[in-house]
Chains A and B, each alone.
Chain A
Amino acid sequence: MTARRTVPAEASQLGVLHEFLQEFGAAAGLGPARIQSLELALEEIFLNVVMHGSQPGTSPRVEVSLALDADTVTMTVEDDGPPFDPLSLPPPELHLSLEERRVGGLGVFLVRQMMDSVDYARVAGRNQLRMRKRHAR
């Protein structure tokens, strides 16, 4: 089972992606916890494209693909913005105190924690981030 949606890299599109994931999750019979972890990953990665990919006057196109096979959901986020590997961002420093903790840098870290695998590639002029999450059985 697969599904695909393309939106401009604008924060206002988060609601569209939210609905897209809910529809896919319901059709695929995924539980709420599984849908939520996919939603978190999509929100974080999409907002990264919005922040890093946009140039004055233009937004990249972002294509989100979902595929479900026997035991794994694969979510691929591709955009035609400038090359940017979110996995190159430094991890947050988790041991710092309340005053010292930096406010950014958490999103990609959370995605890596919640997904079973996350891979970046630059393919045919597009950034491609592929995330996999196995089913709990």
Chain B
Amino acid sequence: MNLRTEALTEVTYLIPEGRLDFDAAPGFQQAIDLLLSATPRPAAVVIDGAGLEYVSSAGLRAVLLGARAAQKAGIPFALCALQPAVREVFELSGFSKIIPVHRARL
């Protein structure tokens, strides 16, 4: 028997580079909101953190609000490829328990 399944999904990656601090958080949050309301709807939104060097609680807030808006819109939301220092902040804050964090890009 031959059995094939091929699924194509349109994951939209949001790729921040640099510092997600108090100054950057509002623009970041706005970018997530724009993605979630785009046409056509993204099948999923994933934040690729490979270039993200720093995150503070202001940045965490933006991610939390984004994840919540995605859930409301029924769009899967996740993070991936976080650098160790940023991952530590996600873990300490408990966010990695409520928002999926993948080691690498899917």
Contact = CB atoms under 8 A, between A and B. Distances in A.
Interface of A: 11, 14-15, 32-33, 36-37, 39-40, 43-44, 47, 92, 94-99, 101, 103-104, 106-107, 109-110, 113-114
Interface of B: 21-23, 53-54, 56-58, 60-61, 64-65, 67-68, 71, 84-85, 89, 92-94, 97-99
Contacts of B99: 98
A50 to B, nearest CB: 9
A98 B60 contact: no
Contact of A101 (B54, B57, B84, B98): B98
B56 A107 contact: yes
A15 to B, nearest CB: 8
B60 A106 contact: yes
Q: Is the interface of B mostly helix, strand, loop or mixed?
A: helix
A14 B22 contact: yes
Contacts of B94: 92, 94-95, 101
Contacts of B84: 33
Given A99-B71, A106-B93, A110-B93, A44 B98 contact: no
B71 A103 contact: no
A106 B57 contact: yes
B53 to A, nearest CB: 8
Given A44-B56, A94-B94, A14 B23 contact: yes
15 contacts: A11-B22, A32-B85, A39-B54, A40-B56, A43-B21, A98-B64, A98-B99, A99-B68, A101-B98, A103-B64, A103-B65, A110-B56, A110-B57, A110-B92, A110-B93
